[in-house]
Amino acid sequence: MKKIVIASVAAMALVTAASAAVNGKACVACHGANWEKHAMGKSKVVADMTHAEIATALKGYKAGTYGGPMKGVMKGQVARYSDADLDAFSQTIGK
């Protein structure tokens, strides 16, 4: 039991450290504090998206293969993060 608890704590620390790399505070102005807004009146509501949909969108913005009118803005927001950072961050938001 002790090994399971230690392993769980270590795994959570890794996810927390990885997600800390992405500055979610920069997202609040457009997407809302609870991810409830249509950013600029054009995006999907992130709170309604699954973790997988969010990861796909973030990595797609980075690659330039995803998005509509705000594609350029989002590419600039996510370009500096690794795919692993984006995957970890996506697990902290959505459903």
Residue 62 included in any domain: yes
Residue 42 included in any domain: yes
Q: How far apart are CA 14 and CA 26, in angstroms?
A: 22
Task: Tell me the residue range of the domain where 8 lies.
Answer: 2-90
Residue 95 included in any domain: no
Percent of the chain with pLDDT over 70: 79
* Count of domains for the chain: 1
Tens of pLDDT, residue by residue over 54-90, are 999 999 999 999 998 889 999 999 999 999 999 999 9
pLDDT at 19: 43
pLDDT surpasses 90 at 11: no
Residue-averaged pLDDT of the chain? 84
pLDDT at 6: 52
pLDDT at 50: 97
What is the separation of C-alpha 11 from the centre of its chain, rounded to a whole number of angstroms? 18
Which value, to the nearest 10 degrees, does the dihedral of the CA atoms of residues 86, 48, 50, 65 take? -50
Higher pLDDT: 16 or 62? It is: 62
Specify the CATH number for the domain of residue 39: 1.10.760
pLDDT at 2: 56
pLDDT at 94: 86
